[in-house]
């Protein structure tokens, strides 16, 4: 991209008094906005920029693509290892397609606010938006929306005190396995899932109000104490329990 093109773009937005010192890196991008209708076509699955494109305002495509990969990765691993429930891969489409559609929706709104062809109406809209950005609640909402960290079911990365010392929830998920987080010591892991799910007992944390959580490898809760049988949630997301040679659920060490 020639420097003159960058100067033209800057002066169009910020006025003729703008002076460009030097350019470290430059690239072109468009406001193209597209999304696949289906993220899975048989044995072919799409993620990141292969599944959706949008204006790069706020760098949201990176967060969106990473979360696609986290969602899909453990489900593919479960399928390869043979314990995935039959419809587990289908949940990738169900969960990630709406997330991308939401990003495309609000990057389209940002595109209007960022247009260099400033009309009186857009100038008025920008003014109101600037006023809203001065409100802490607005900033909190937009930060969660643009990072993708406000997604329903996502467990906050709390600091936890365990028998092995202080750690963060994200560190407990590095194994790529499910996690039964027991915050009262009253929730053992039922027999048959210790090859796929870890159980960790920790002290209660102010960010986690439930007494126990079952957390998927991508950091999303799939069960909380009081929300139905734990065995049903384990079967839904982690397949049938392992069986010993006598046909009963194998004992697990917890």
Task: Say how far apart CA 127 and CA 117 lie, in whole Å.
Answer: 16
CB-side neighbour CA atoms (13 Å) of 233: 22
CA angle 81, 87, 88 (to 5 degrees): 50
For residues 66-93, give the mean pLDDT.
95
Task: Say how far apart CA 204 and CA 67 lie, in whole Å.
Answer: 27
**Measuring CA to CA, which residue among 36, 63, 58 is closest to residue 111?**
58
pLDDT band at residue 253 under the 50/70/90 scheme: very low
The domain defined by 159-238 folds into: Glutaredoxin (3.40.30)
For the segment(s) 32-147, the CATH number from 3.40.50.300, 1.25.10.10, 3.40.1310.30, 3.50.50.60 is 3.50.50.60
For residues 134-156, give the mean pLDDT.
90
**Sheet architecture: strand order including 178-182:** 197-201, 178-182, 212-215, 221-224
Token pair for residue 247? 């046909």
pLDDT band at residue 246 under the 50/70/90 scheme: very low
Q: Percent helix, strand, coil in the chain (nearest 5)?
A: 40, 15, 45
Least trusted range by pLDDT, from 27-31, 84-88, 117-121, 234-238? 27-31
What pLDDT was estimated at residue 254? 39
Q: By the 8 A CB rule, do 18 and 10 touch?
A: yes
What pLDDT was estimated at residue 47? 96
DSSP alpha helices (H): ranges in the chain?
3-14, 60-81, 90-113, 120-133, 136-147, 169-172, 230-238
pLDDT band at residue 7 under the 50/70/90 scheme: confident
For residues 83-89, give the mean pLDDT.
95
For residues 111-136, give the mean pLDDT.
89
Provide the residue ranges of all domains of the chain, joining segments of one domain with +: 1-30, 32-147, 159-238
* Residue whose structure tokens are 């936890």: 160
What tens digit of pLDDT does each residue of 58-70 get? 788 888 999 999 9
Residues 6+ apart with CB under 8 A from 147: 60, 63
What tens digit of pLDDT does each residue of 157-173 get? 999 999 999 999 999 99
Task: Say how far apart CA 63 and CA 146 lie, in whole Å.
Answer: 8
């Amino acid at each position: 991209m020639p420097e003159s093109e960058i100067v033209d773009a800057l002066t169009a937005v910020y006025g003729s008094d703008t002076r460009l010192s030097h350019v470290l890196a430059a690239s072109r991008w468009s406001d193209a906005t597209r999304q696949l209708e289906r993220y899975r076509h048989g044995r072919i699955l799409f993620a990141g920029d292969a599944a959706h494109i949008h204006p790069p305002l706020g760098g949201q495509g990176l967060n969106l693509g990473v979360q696609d990969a986290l969602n899909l990765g453990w489900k593919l691993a479960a399928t390869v290892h043979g314990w995935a429930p039959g419809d587990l891969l289908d949940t990738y489409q169900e969960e990630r397609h709406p997330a991308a559609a939401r990003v495309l929706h609000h990057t389209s709104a940002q595109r209007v606010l960022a247009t260099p062809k400033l009309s009186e109406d857009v100038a008025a809209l920008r003014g109101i938006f600037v006023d809203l950005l001065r409100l802490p609640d607005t900033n909190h909402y937009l930060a969660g929306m643009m990072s993708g960290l406000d997604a329903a079911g996502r467990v906050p990365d709390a600091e936890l005190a365990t028998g092995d010392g202080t750690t963060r929830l994200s560190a407990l998920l590095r194994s790529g396995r499910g996690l039964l987080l027991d915050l009262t010591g009253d929730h053992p892991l039922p027999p048959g899932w210790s090859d796929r799910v870890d159980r960790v007992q920790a002290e209660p944390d102010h960010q986690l109000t439930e007494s126990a959580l079952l957390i998927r490898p991508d950091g999303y809760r799939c069960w909380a104490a009081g929300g139905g049988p734990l065995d049903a949630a384990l079967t839904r997301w982690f397949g049938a329990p392992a069986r010993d040679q006598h046909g009963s659920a194998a004992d697990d060490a917890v």
